[in-house]
Amino acid sequence: MLALPVVVPASIAPYMAAPVWLGFIFLLDPLNAQLGGESLLADFRAGRSDRLINLALSGLLCGVLWEFWNYWAGAKWHYTVPIMENLKVFEMPVPGYLGFPAFAFECFTMYVFARVVFAYATKAHGTQLGRTIAL
């Protein structure tokens, strides 16, 4: 998924942002589950939706606040996207807000992966890691 924009025709590549955003989730989350770390897929299979909902809503809230601050900034981001570019909330086209929950899932997945790798690296020293912070 991460390499998809490189291998598809140039006319389709601008529409491949979603696979890139989601690629690390689909790459690392199964590894997290396999290595005994917390996993979004494991939560979903167990019928636990609280973490998914919390991450999605917090990602969306952070995204709205981020774009609110960007709108008033002197030096700001200007977005160009291939669809619905003129329908904006602040400076972000509306479809762009769908990326913020995905970004929260990705951050969580990368955090857990780093934590699991660190746990394996420090296991020889007898260091104990606690639960994931605030999730």
Q: What residues does 89 pair with on adjacent strands?
A: 92
Q: What is the DSSP letter of 34?
A: H
The pLDDT, as a whole number, for residue 126 is 61
CB 54 within 8 A of CB 66: no
The pLDDT, as a whole number, for residue 125 is 59
This prediction has a pTM of 0.79
Per-residue pLDDT 10s for the chain (135 aa) are 667 777 888 888 777 777 877 888 999 999 999 998 999 999 999 999 999 999 999 999 999 999 999 888 888 888 777 778 788 888 888 888 888 999 999 999 999 999 888 887 777 556 555 555 555
Q: Which of 32, 50, 62, 66 is nearest to 134 (CA)?
A: 50
Buried b (16+ CB within 10 A) or exposed e, 85-99: eeeeebbbbeebbeb
**Cβ contacts of residue 70 below 8 Å, gap of 6+?**
76, 77, 90, 91, 92
The pLDDT, as a whole number, for residue 119 is 81
